[in-house]
Amino acid sequence: MAQHSHTHVIDEDMEAEIALRLRKADQRFTPARRALVAALVAAKGPMAIADILLVTEKMPQSSVYRNLTVLESVGVVSRLMSNDEYGRFELSENLIGHHHHLICQQCGAMSDFNIPHDMEQQLDSTLAQLASANGFTLEHHRLDIVGKCSACK
Amino acid sequence: MAQHSHTHVIDEDMEAEIALRLRKADQRFTPARRALVAALVAAKGPMAIADILLVTEKMPQSSVYRNLTVLESVGVVSRLMSNDEYGRFELSENLIGHHHHLICQQCGAMSDFNIPHDMEQQLDSTLAQLASANGFTLEHHRLDIVGKCSACK
DNA sequence: ATGAGTGCAAAGGCTTTGCATTAGG
DNA sequence: CCTAATGCAAAGCCTTTGCACTCAT
């Protein structure tokens, strides 16, 4: 499992793993997809489409959307929602590690953070019990801090 | 603070409190708004617009949207996002109490649950520290269980 | 009477899709 | 060659807005 920090580490292992997952689905690791992965690797949190378009200037919106959908379908990226209605994308947790998000309720931006291991484990076991008590099959949990980022306050 | 259970308790205090908040904003507690509040009170979790329209059959979509916006602006309801891109509405936590959500990743439905008080407090203090350590002003937190509801599995 | 509330329809804005063209294996 | 991938434009879909009408104070 990759270690998580403020920006993500792009290493050959990850590169190879991504290529493998695409290949398994008969998909290619094209320049456009590399650019998208690179953008997400460089980010310190999930990116909105608008953010991505700023970084991948030449790429048409439809290509961004379609390639992110492909990358999501092969488990390379995850699509998640912030407080606003725009979808955001990040590298899958199985590539960059489990983490949580700071959500700015003003601008909707998300950035990553971690909680202590012991609290994470305590949370996991408690939530597992609560899920089954509610007839729910737990897949994972989501813990966000909602507030104002330094830029917005 | 109201006690939270599977469905919410509609009592006169809450009724009066809602009326008060509307009045303060020069807004009226109209039949349409009462119907919306009633729908949310009866629900066991946040409702999507589609859900609300099923319950408030005669109400035009625009009235649903507009009245929910008003109710949100006076702090009676909260708008939040599930895993899908459709906004969901629930009564504000200051009316029904702090709680968390089970999110079905298949149908997007949300239902409420609670965690033990001591864990909640532990979480609160840890997140407060982490927020400030990240230059963030913590407003509140969000903890969801993501998985499959009994209907979808 | 005066401003809030309502209803219908049209407009917005993000996202998806169709289709013809290009390119990689 | 053959299928995936791309690009542009058009269509979709939830949500918001404009505007005239109604209603409560």
Reported confidence tier of residue A121, pLDDT bands at 50, 70, 90: very high
In this prediction, residue B5 carries a pLDDT of 47
**Residue in B with minimal Cα distance to A153:** B137
Which residue in chain A has the smallest CA separation from B114?
A130
Residue of chain B minimizing CA distance to A133 = B113
Count of CB contacts below 8 A, A vs B? 112
User: What is the Cα–Cα distance from B92 to B78, expressed in whole angstroms?
Assistant: 5
Choose the closest CB to B130 out of A105, A113, A122. A113
Indicate the pLDDT class of residue A116, thresholds 50, 70 and 90.
very high
Place of tokens 């109201």: B2
Q: Which helix (H) or strand (E) holds B40?
A: helix B31-42
A65-79 pLDDT tens trace: 999 999 999 999 999
pTM above 0.85, yes or no: yes
* pLDDT more than 70, % of chain A: 95
3-state DSSP call for residue B56?
coil
Q: Which nucleotides of chain D does any protein CB come within 7 A of? A: 3-10, 14-18, 24-25
Give the strands of the sheet with B77-81, arranged side by side: B47-48, B87-91, B77-81
Q: Which nucleotides in chain C lie less than 7 Å from some protein C-beta?
A: 3-10, 14-18, 24-25
Kindly determine whether residue A145 and residue B126, on different chains, have CB atoms separated by under 8 Å: no
Rounded mean pLDDT, A81-107: 95
User: Do B86 and B130 meet the contact criterion of CB atoms below 8 Å apart?
Assistant: no
pLDDT category, A5, cuts 50, 70, 90? very low
Identify the pLDDT of residue B58: 87
Mean pLDDT of chain A, nearest integer: 93
Whether residue A1 is predicted with pLDDT greater than 50 in this model: the reply is: no
A24 burial via Cβ count (<10 Å: 0-12, 13-18, 19+): exposed
The pLDDT assigned to B57 comes to 84
Mean pLDDT score, A81-110 = 95
Of B87, B113, B138, Cβ closest to residue A130: B113
Cβ–Cβ < 8 Å for A91, B95: no
Tokens 């590169």, located at residue = A15
How many H-runs (helices) and E-runs (strands) does chain B carry? 6, 6
Q: Do the chains contact at A140 and B134, CB–CB below 8 Å?
A: no
pLDDT for residue A21 is more than 70 = yes
A73 beta carbon to strand C: under 7 Å? no
Q: For residue B30, say whether its CB is under 7 Å from any atom of strand C.
A: yes
A25-60 pLDDT, tens digit each: 999 999 999 999 999 999 999 999 999 999 998 899
Taking only the tens place, the pLDDT of each residue in B7-45 is 776 788 899 999 999 999 999 999 999 999 999 999 999
Question: What pLDDT score was predicted for residue A6?
Answer: 59
- From the CA of A141, how many Å to the nearest CA of chain B? 5
Q: Which residues of chain B have pLDDT under 70?
A: 1-6, 9
What are the structural domains of chain B? 12-147 (1.10.10.10)
Residue A2: what pLDDT?
Answer: 44
Residue A3 has pLDDT above 50, yes or no: no
pLDDT score recorded for residue A7: 73
